[in-house]
Amino acid sequence: MTQINVEHIVLNVPAAPGEDEPRHLGESPLAYVQRTARDKSDRCIEWMGACTNASPSEQELDPNIYVLTADTTVALGDLILGKPEDAEDAKKILSLLSGQTHLVHTAIVLARGNDRRSALSTSRVSFGKISQAEIDQYVSSQESFGKAGAYGIQGLAAKYISRLEGSYSGVMGLPLFETAQLLKDVGI
């Protein structure tokens, strides 16, 4: 948001109880990412309503402000490659991506009250062949953790990406063009 010169605050909304962002039976990666972005938006709006009488440090939580949420999903066919659970999982995910082209879907939702506006960015990312030694070295950098698909395009993994068709910022997790368009639509 700073990059596109939009004043903002970051809210640390508690995660929903239970499994983190479960995939519904038969749900496509595209439907999944759109639903999870909406769910985050709904949870944030609900949480803000509960915080209206909160401490002075949360006084910025005016229920009339817009909330922006996003979710990013890495998909190899119908397989969603989420955040790795551990080093072995990260190595498995990167081995699957090696020499393949996958899709990165990022859904964003701009919400205020009951008003929801959304956009979607889909990018095609091609990885060159990555040796097991390179995968081991990359995973040991700790960059894989906390990232869908076990990689960050903005970091060391960039040297494995042979082609990108789409939005660099969308692959990072917030497609700035689509975000700016949603904000423009509401006069921000």
Whole-number pLDDT of residue 184: 95
Whole-number pLDDT of residue 59: 47
Whole-number pLDDT of residue 52: 59
Q: How far apart are the first and last CA of the chain?
A: 12
Local structure of 156: helix, strand or coil: helix
| Residue of 76, 73, 105, 72 lying closest to 92 (CA atoms) | 76
Domain ranges of the chain: 29-185
Whole-number pLDDT of residue 51: 67
Q: What is the pLDDT along the chain (188 residues), one digit of tens a residue?
A: 888 888 888 888 877 776 567 888 889 999 999 999 999 999 888 888 776 555 545 445 666 789 999 999 999 999 999 999 999 999 999 999 999 999 999 999 999 988 999 999 999 999 999 999 999 999 999 999 999 999 999 999 999 999 999 999 999 999 999 999 999 999 98
CB neighbours (10 Å) of residue 129?
10
Q: What angle do CA 2, 162, 134 make, to 5 degrees?
A: 95
Burial of 51 (0-12, 13-18, 19+ CB in 10 A): middle
Amino acid at 114: N
Whole-number pLDDT of residue 10: 84
The residues annotated with a catalytic role in the active site are: 71
Which of the following CATH numbers is that of domain 29-185: 3.30.43.10, 3.30.70.3170, 3.90.950.10, 3.30.360.10? 3.90.950.10
Whole-number pLDDT of residue 56: 43
